[in-house]
């Protein structure tokens, strides 16, 4: 062990004065570049604490194994047949679950003094939120990739090939980006990260299970089937499935993107307002 | 009244409530440009809320203010370009390194990547944090964090800087470092609004001063004026026999001023004692045969300022429902 006691003198006044006086003000950054800087901030956090990616990778893999081996035989006759049906849906589920973490991390951020600094900067108002959600999108891509890779290791072979899988992933990530504004509002309204987590999962768990992610809705009783059919998560899972199968379902894809755009249109301005006033 | 010295901050009747708490209740401020202006007040006085309104973080619900000539509500964006804030909670990102914090801010203020890095390194060197530049801020000492926080506020030198209790919790050396930086900033032309709980800090740094209590300005002036109005300090006395404290209190109250009974049952102090009156008071105690363990003259503390200005001790402001019975003086209000 080397113990070094550092006896730094007081800050060098001349250097301090030089540092203070040497700043011509640069022009304001553009909107997008300010947002991208916040995205970079999110990446740096992952770099310093890579373990935080465990959340977004372990849970989906667990679900994948659980459903494929525990229920696969019972639901679809064989595990491999079930994998073909359910993997595109599990992709949807794992990425959607990750969006809840966007709300949680925003809520955690708000308890820190650094938010006051961001809010006192002359930057485009939505930049901090837009940027951190852009950064979170990287997590969504990771969560989705993990599911697809593990699925393929278990024998999943998408008919649509590599392009189909990538297209499905892109669609799901785009949808999640829209949905994450909803959880940002939760993150801004709730009192603690835990409350955000509870509320978030309370909403997204039943919605996911009452969709066609795990079971074919034609086997369900009438009213339930009706609900499952209009559940946007079903639509997204259908779209994802169609892309993976190499037979894109145009309607499902357009509806998914429209829902995402609608969510963002409503909740983005709301988040920006809440972020300013909190 | 037209232009004398230009005012960096002009607030009139500024107010803000949180639910039923009137956090700021009609604050008027006139801060001349190029000076350090102190806002002195106990916990919960409304200092942070005032700063947050002036820095455009929250909107006032009464009154108005202009910062460097711009309205804080209608021209908030312009105000943000001219000011920076060093908040009471360290306004830096704990989960990033010191350098990353400064580069991040440089980028947000419009520097190119390379320029932001250069600026960060220059600040890290000047503020004596270069050695810790690559460490996560959550592992910084309090003094380092404060210096980083101030460095983050001057990535682009602001015309006005808000400093909210910059030395609370720092050891004397770190405190002196912060004070030096603050003096350098003012020497380079930045106006500073400094919130503090320490009269000494205001005395050391501030050119002008407002004392606030329960959301109102209760006194204004220079630190010198204020100290003069408070008296030069307090006479601290410790008795050999706690049983005679009441008697001693009566004597001190007569010869010096308001008496505070300390938590230590043998100790008491008299506010507003100059050396001469203290000498007379101590002689009086000796004359009356009250044996003393020791005594000393203390510079006025915020408590004493408050006792003198408001008739109640500073910490009671936060907790009005249970006035401590320690003060002999009745609540004047
Ligand atoms: N966001 C908030 N919500 C509710 N009450 C608040 C909020 N911010 C401040 N207050 C209340 O307003 C009053 C003034 O608070 P403020 O933080 O401005 O005081 P302060 O002078 O900065 O105190 P301190 O020295 O403890 O920092 C306090 O009673 C506080 O509890
Ligand atoms: Mg405060």
Q: What is the mean pLDDT of residues A221-229?
A: 82
Distance from the alpha carbon of residue B11 to the mean position of ligand 1, in angstroms: 19
| pLDDT bucket at A208, cuts 50 / 70 / 90 | confident
Say whether residue B118 is in contact with chain A using an 8 A CB cutoff: no
Distance from the alpha carbon of residue B94 to the mean position of ligand 2, in angstroms: 20
Q: Residue A26 in contact with residue B109, Cβ under 8 Å?
A: yes
3-state secondary structure string, chain A? Answer: CCCCCCCCCCCCHHHHHHHHHCCCCCCCCCHHHHHHHHHHHHHHHHHHCHHHHHHHHHHHHHHHHHHHHHHHHHHHCCHHHHHHHHHHHHHHHHHHHHHHHHHHHHHHHHCCCHHHHHHCCCCCCCHHHHHHHHHHHHHHHHHHHHHHHHHHHCCCCCCCHHHHHHHHHHHHHHHHHHHHHHHHHHHHHCCCHHHHHHHHHHHHHHHHHCCCCCCCHHHCCHHHHHHHHHCHHHHHHHHHHHHHCCCCCHHHHHHHHHHHHHHHHHHHHHHHHHHHHC
Q: How far is A238 from chain B (nearest CA, A)?
A: 40
Q: State residue A76's pLDDT score.
A: 65
Stated as kind and residue range, the H or E segment containing B20 is none
Helix axes A79-110, A232-244, angle to 10 degrees: 130
* Ligand 1 atom closest to Cα of residue B215: 14
Q: Start-end ranges of CATH 3.40.50.300 in chain B?
A: 7-95+136-227+308-332
Calculate the average pLDDT of chain A: 85
Contacts of B22 (CB under 8 A, 6+ apart): B15, B16, B214, B215
Give me the percent of chain A exceeding a pLDDT of 70. 92
Q: Is residue A121 part of a domain?
A: yes
| pLDDT bucket at A230, cuts 50 / 70 / 90 | confident
Calculate the average pLDDT of chain B: 85
| pLDDT bucket at B313, cuts 50 / 70 / 90 | low
Q: Is residue A50 part of a domain?
A: yes
Q: Is residue A24 part of a domain?
A: no
At residue B83, does pLDDT exceed 70? yes
At residue A183, does pLDDT exceed 50? yes
User: Of A105-119, B99-113, B299-313, where does the model show the most confidence?
Assistant: B99-113
Domain B7-95+136-227+308-332 has CATH 3.40.50.300: yes
List pLDDT tens digits, range B223-238.
Answer: 877 777 666 678 889 9
Q: What is the mean pLDDT of residues B245-259?
A: 89
Give me the percent of chain B exceeding a pLDDT of 70. 87
Q: Which of B55, B70, B6 is nearest to B161 (CA)?
A: B55
Strands B160-164 and B62-67: unpaired
Q: Which of B218, B190, B258 is nearest to B40 (CA)?
A: B218
Among the residue ranges A148-162, A190-204, B219-233, the one predicted with the least confidence is B219-233
Q: Note whether B55 contacts A121, CB cutoff 8 Å.
A: no
Q: What is the mean pLDDT of residues A35-39?
A: 94
Q: How far is A6 from chain B (nearest CA, A)?
A: 10
Q: What is the mean pLDDT of residues B36-59?
A: 92
- CA nearest to A43 within chain B: B96
Q: State residue B232's pLDDT score.
A: 62
Q: Note whether B136 contacts A277, CB cutoff 8 Å.
A: no
Q: Note whether B89 contacts A19, CB cutoff 8 Å.
A: no
Q: Which of A153, A155, A166 is nearest to A83 (CA)?
A: A155
Query: For residue B258, what are its two tokens?
Result: 């308001």
At residue B314, does pLDDT exceed 60? no
Q: Note whether B184 contacts A23, CB cutoff 8 Å.
A: no
| pLDDT bucket at A275, cuts 50 / 70 / 90 | confident
Chain B residues touching residue A45 (CB < 8 angstroms): 95-96
Q: Residue B159 in contact with residue B82, Cβ under 8 Å?
A: yes
Q: Provide the whole-model pTM.
A: 0.79
* Ligand 1 atom closest to Cα of residue B48: 22
Say how many C-beta atoms besides its own lie within 10 A of residue A254's C-beta: 12
Q: Is residue A18 part of a domain?
A: no
Q: State residue B329's pLDDT score.
A: 29
Q: Is residue A245 part of a domain?
A: yes
Q: Give the C-alpha separation, A11 to B184, whole Å.
A: 11
Q: How far is A55 from chain B (nearest CA, A)?
A: 18
What residues form DSSP beta bridges with B261? B268
CATH topology classification for B232-299: Alpha-Beta Plaits (3.30.70)
Distance from the alpha carbon of residue B287 to the mean position of ligand 2, in angstroms: 46
Q: What is the mean pLDDT of residues B211-223?
A: 88
Q: Residue B65 in contact with residue B75, Cβ under 8 Å?
A: no
List pLDDT tens digits, range B129-153.
Answer: 999 999 999 999 988 999 999 999 9
Q: State residue A228's pLDDT score.
A: 83
Query: Across the A/B interface, how many CB contacts are shorter than 8 Å?
Result: 134
Distance from the alpha carbon of residue A117 to the mean position of ligand 1, in angstroms: 18
| Helix residue ranges, H only, B93-198 | 98-108, 113-126, 142-153, 172-187
Query: For residue A233, what are its two tokens?
Result: 């998560």
Say whether residue B255 is in contact with chain A using an 8 A CB cutoff: no
At residue A80, does pLDDT exceed 90? no
Of B286 and B273, the structure prediction assigns the larger pLDDT to: B286
Q: State residue B318's pLDDT score.
A: 43
Q: How far is A22 from chain B (nearest CA, A)?
A: 8
Alpha carbon nearest to ligand 1 atom 25, residue: B43
| pLDDT bucket at B89, cuts 50 / 70 / 90 | confident
Q: Give the C-alpha separation, A244 to A184, whole Å.
A: 30
Q: Is residue A19 part of a domain?
A: no
Could you list the residue range(s) of the whole structural domain that residue A137 is in? 30-277
Among the residue ranges A32-41, B147-156, B266-275, the one predicted with the least confidence is B266-275
Q: Give the C-alpha separation, A144 to A173, whole Å.
A: 8
Q: What is the mean pLDDT of residues A135-150?
A: 89
At residue B332, does pLDDT exceed 50? no
Beta sheet of B259-261, edge-to-edge order: B259-261, B267-271, B234-239, B292-298
Q: State residue B326's pLDDT score.
A: 32
Interface test with A, best of B91, B92, B124, B187 (most A CBs within 10 A): B91
Q: Note whether B127 contacts A114, CB cutoff 8 Å.
A: no
At residue B330, does pLDDT exceed 90? no
Among the residue ranges A198-202, B185-189, B300-304, B316-320, the one predicted with the least confidence is B316-320
- Complex confidence, ipTM: 0.82
Question: Residues A116-133, buried b or exposed e (16+ Cβ, 10 A)?
Answer: bbbbbbbbbbbbbbbbbb
Give me the percent of chain B exceeding a pLDDT of 90. 53
Q: Is residue A235 part of a domain?
A: yes
Count of domains forming chain A: 1
Q: Note whether A26 contacts B126, CB cutoff 8 Å.
A: no
Helix axes A79-110, A161-189, angle to 10 degrees: 30
| pLDDT bucket at B323, cuts 50 / 70 / 90 | very low
Q: State residue B164's pLDDT score.
A: 93
Helix (H, G, I), strand (E, B) or coil at B220: strand
Q: What is the mean pLDDT of residues B205-212?
A: 91
DSSP label of B55: T
Does ligand 1 lie within 6 Å of residue B18's CB atom? yes
Q: Is residue A15 part of a domain?
A: no
Q: Note whether A112 contacts B89, CB cutoff 8 Å.
A: yes
List pLDDT tens digits, range B143-193.
Answer: 899 999 999 999 999 999 999 999 988 888 888 888 998 999 999 889 999
Q: State residue B304's pLDDT score.
A: 65
Helix (H, G, I), strand (E, B) or coil at B258: coil
């Amino acid at each position: 062990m080397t113990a070094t006691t550092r006896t730094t003198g007081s800050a060098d006044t001349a250097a301090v004065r030089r540092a203070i006086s040497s700043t011509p003000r640069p022009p304001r950054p553009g909107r997008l570049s300010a947002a991208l800087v916040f995205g970079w901030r999110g990446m740096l956090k992952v770099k310093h604490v890579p373990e935080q990616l465990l959340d977004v990778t372990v849970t989906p893999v667990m679900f994948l194994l659980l459903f494929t081996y525990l229920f696969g035989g019972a639901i679809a006759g064989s595990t491999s047949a079930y994998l073909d049906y359910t993997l595109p849906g599990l992709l949807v589920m794992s990425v959607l679950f990750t969006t809840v973490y966007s709300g949680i991390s925003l809520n955690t951020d708000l308890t820190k003094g650094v938010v006051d600094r961001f809010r006192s900067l002359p930057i485009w108002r939505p930049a901090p939120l837009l940027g951190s959600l852009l950064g979170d999108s990287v997590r969504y891509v990771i969560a989705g990739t993990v599911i697809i890779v593990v699925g393929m290791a278990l024998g999943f072979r998408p008919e649509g090939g590599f392009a189909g899988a990538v297209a499905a992933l892109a669609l799901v990530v785009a949808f999640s980006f829209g949905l994450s504004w909803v959880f940002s509002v939760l993150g801004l309204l709730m009192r603690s990260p835990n409350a955000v987590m509870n509320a978030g999962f309370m909403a997204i768990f039943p919605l996911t299970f009452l969709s066609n992610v795990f079971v074919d809705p034609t086997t369900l009783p009438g009213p339930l089937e009706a609900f499952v059919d209009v559940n946007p998560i079903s639509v997204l899972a259908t779209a994802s499935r169609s892309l993976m199968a190499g037979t894109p379902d145009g309607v499902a894809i357009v509806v998914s993107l429209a829902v995402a755009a609608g969510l963002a249109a409503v909740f983005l301005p709301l988040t920006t307002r809440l972020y300013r006033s909190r | 009244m037209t232009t004398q010295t230009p005012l960096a901050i002009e607030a009139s009747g500024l107010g803000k409530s949180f639910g039923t708490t009137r956090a700021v209740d009609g604050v008027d401020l006139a801060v001349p440009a190029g000076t350090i202006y102190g806002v002195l007040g106990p916990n919960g006085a409304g200092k942070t809320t005032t700063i947050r309104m002036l820095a455009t973080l929250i909107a006032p619900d009464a009154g108005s203010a202009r910062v460097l000539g711009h309205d804080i509500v209608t021209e908030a964006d312009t105000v943000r370009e001219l000011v920076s804030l060093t908040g009471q909670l360290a306004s830096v990102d704990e989960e990033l390194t010191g350098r990353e914090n400064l580069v991040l801010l440089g980028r947000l203020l419009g520097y190119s990547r390379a320029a932001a890095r250069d600026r960060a390194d220059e600040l890290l060197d000047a503020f004596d944090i270069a050695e810790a530049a690559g460490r996560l801020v959550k592992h910084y000492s309090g003094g380092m964090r404060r210096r980083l926080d101030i460095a983050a506020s001057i990535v682009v030198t602001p015309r006005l800087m808000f400093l909210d209790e910059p030395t609370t919790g720092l050891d004397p050396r770190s405190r002196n470092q912060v004070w030096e930086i603050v003096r350098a900033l003012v020497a380079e032309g930045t106006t500073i609004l400094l919130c503090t709980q320490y009269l000494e800090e205001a005395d050391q740094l501030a050119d002008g001063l407002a004392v606030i209590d329960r959301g109102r300005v209760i006194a204004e002036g220079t630190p010198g004026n204020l100290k003069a109005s408070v008296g030069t300090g307090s006479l601290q006395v410790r008795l050999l026999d706690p049983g005679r404290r009441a008697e001693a209190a009566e004597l001190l109250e007569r010869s010096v001023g308001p008496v505070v009974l300390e938590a230590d049952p043998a100790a008491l102090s008299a506010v507003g004692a100059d050396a001469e009156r203290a000498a007379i008071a101590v002689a009086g105690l000796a004359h009356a045969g009250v044996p003393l363990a020791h005594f000393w003259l203390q510079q006025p503390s915020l408590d004493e300022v408050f006792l003198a200005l408001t008739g109640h001790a500073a910490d009671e402001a936060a907790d009005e429902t249970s006035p401590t019975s320690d003060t002999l003086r009745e609540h004047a209000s």
